[in-house]
Structure 1
Amino acid sequence: MPAATAPGAGPGAAHRTARRWLGRFTGLTLRTKLALVYTGVFALGGALLLAANYAMVSASLELRGVELSMTAALPTDDPARTLVVPAPTVPAPTGERAPAGESAPATDWAATEAEPLALLVDDYQTGVLSDLLVNSALILAGVTLLAALAGWVIAGGPLRRLHRVTDAARTLSEHDLHSRLDLRGPEDEFRELGDTFDGMLSRLERAFDSQRRFVSNASHELRTPLSVQRAALEVPLAQDRVPEDLWPAFRRALDSVARSEALISGLLLLARSDRGLARTEVVDLAAVAVNVVGQQAGAAEEEGVDLRLDVEPAPADGDPVLLEHLVRNLVENAVRYNADDGWVEVRVRTAAGRTVLRVTNSGPEVGDAEELFEPFHRGDAVRLHRRRPGSGLGLSIVRSIATAHGARATARARPDGGLVVTVGFPEL
């Protein structure tokens, strides 16, 4: 009857153990892997050298022992070739004790006591090999630890330059494409990677600049024909020269022109904020919020929205015009995308030296709030079919202006519906 196999034993368990250890190794950092490889190669080479040294010394000792035994066993009258051993360990041939201080000749001892000599030689060989093995193993262990430390330090040098590339790729955005790595050091693969990365940044910077110039130029060119269309529609309406049955069509055309102008203004503002700040000054964001809320009070009343204000003096370094656009876009969006008898709260505070603007509103439920920062993304059908649908650029402009000021704009959906948008500015 075959013996029972222990649980977990067998080829399958060994395979799973090997895979588990391999997974642990692959999860290590590159620097740790390199240090372990250096250490493993050094330890393997040291172990092979120790084994070879042990084999050579063992063979040499064995050869010397055989020669010593043969020499001791040969009879000789030459006193120089006489092996002298202590008298107490060598009994006298006649059974009498030898006088103190005297020794028996090696030839007589070897003839009668050859076996003790062989044991003595074997003990000597074993002791030498044991000392060699222990001392060499200790030295190898110490040098291996030094090799591990040296491998860790050596691997860290080139990888620091690789970390610079990784950090730059992690923090890079369309607003700081002008930055370059400019890696220093030898002309190796890491230097080539850094130069390639800088070249890619240069190409991206040119592409983004070209796109911004196109948006800005196209928006400017479109404003003139829209102004002509608006005048061509408003003048007949103002002079009452439009038949009554054409009034709805004229009004729809005027609304379409107004939406187009708002879209073009948003694109121009987006292009301007993407170019960065030409000049900055300290602006009281609380005063900006008070001014914007006063301007939007009429629109909030028309929508039946309760507009609340809770501010305290809060300085921020930036462009006054762009900051006013930021606050206005937030308040307009909060009023437009709201519920019947809803509310909007504009709050400005200073915390830990940082100015924080938070606009909260009631309204329909929002799925992914962060998607609203994408250009022309206006959310779900509830937000799209409002009486005054927006262009989808409001929150995109908010984030672009915030990024130009070194601030961070975030949004989260309220559990009861509506949105909370927060803009945190850096310390002055």
Structure 2
Amino acid sequence: MIDPHIPPPADDPPEVKVDQPRPMSTVRTRLHSRSHRASSRLPSWMGSIRFRLTAVWSILVFGLAALVVGGIYLGLQYSLKNQKISAMAFQVGGITFIQPDQAQLVQRAVNERALDALRVYSFWALLALFFLSLVVGWIVSGRLLRPLGEISNSVREIQASDLKQRIDLGGPNDELRQLADTFDDMLGRLDEAFEGQRQFIHEASHELRNPLAVIRTNLEVTLADPDASAEELRHAAEVVERSSERMARLVDDLLVYARKGTLSLERDPVDIALLINEAAEEFTAPASAAGVHLVHQAVGGLWVVGDRLALRQALGNLLANAIRYSPEGTTVRLRGGLEGPWVWLAVEDQGPGIDLVDQDRVFQRFWRGDSREGREQGRSGLGLTIVRQIAEAHGGEVKLVSQVDHGSAFALWLPALAPAQPSPPLLES
């Protein structure tokens, strides 16, 4: 039995929360956005941002100018209305005559003419200002929105089959530049995702092609021999059965691998002791059939938040690998404990171990160590990949310590739900 200590993750675990039932109000989240499409019967240029900016700019300028001119007009009208001439005086033959009524009439006529002229000039001035603001607003908005046109043209040229192209917008670091940079980052993530998907499809196709080739070859050889004996037919049928089982296992693992990246896991309290006991009960018979002694140790009071079935599957994958690689007469140990804010689940075996250069590759898709032997045993090469995926989906991680000819130890580290009593150090012999 190996005697290393797997340290817990360096970072603190994320805050764990139990899922609450969703209220019915959260289900009604879609608005009737399609009802606005019926009103879009205007020319296309009138629906552009440039036209709307120009219209808003012109209306604001026209409205402010109208308020200013209207204020001047009302103020002048009020001032002229309160300005009175008490009398008009003139002399005839050295005698002064005063006509008060005539003076008021003349003053009123002068004021009305001034107000009429002000109204006319104000109207034409506002009209000219409105059209001038349209022209200026159209030019300025076009200048400001030019980067959006560049972004739109670049996006239009990008094809789904080639996501290497980037917008790479220059200019000042404003909102449009940040939008272009964000879009470039999104293209980079999409490119990586599509590249990973293409690689995954290529690898999965390759893995499925091998058992299909075995089935086809054996069937062709058997059918080509009309004098094949019953023993030869039985042998061919056994080969086809093993290959079909391997294909079924590979397809199941592919489905699990794909779903773990897309489906949301349950977030319920999980009792680690119960999880360990269930896994031990399930794998006791396979371990006995392989001549391996399975020992488990469950510490009470350990809880995590997560998907019990997913964690059960991760633990099952680790146990299946440990039993498969353990020589007859050896022991596989399944334990759990607490260290700081982390709960750990460890599976230790006394198998051949994993070379140091391969320990970083064991969690890669379709890696089996000895690929030929792994295919003959029907392994899909996705078991440890699924374990890592499940651990990361729960805010934890999986670690490995292995020594050639001494065995391997895999540990799942998960954020603890509640404080518990400290347990012995992990992997202490």
Q: Which has the larger radius of gyration?
A: 1
For this structure pair, what is the TM-score category when the shorter chain's length is used for normalisation?
A: 0.3 to 0.5
TM norm structure 2: 0.46
TM norm structure 1: 0.46
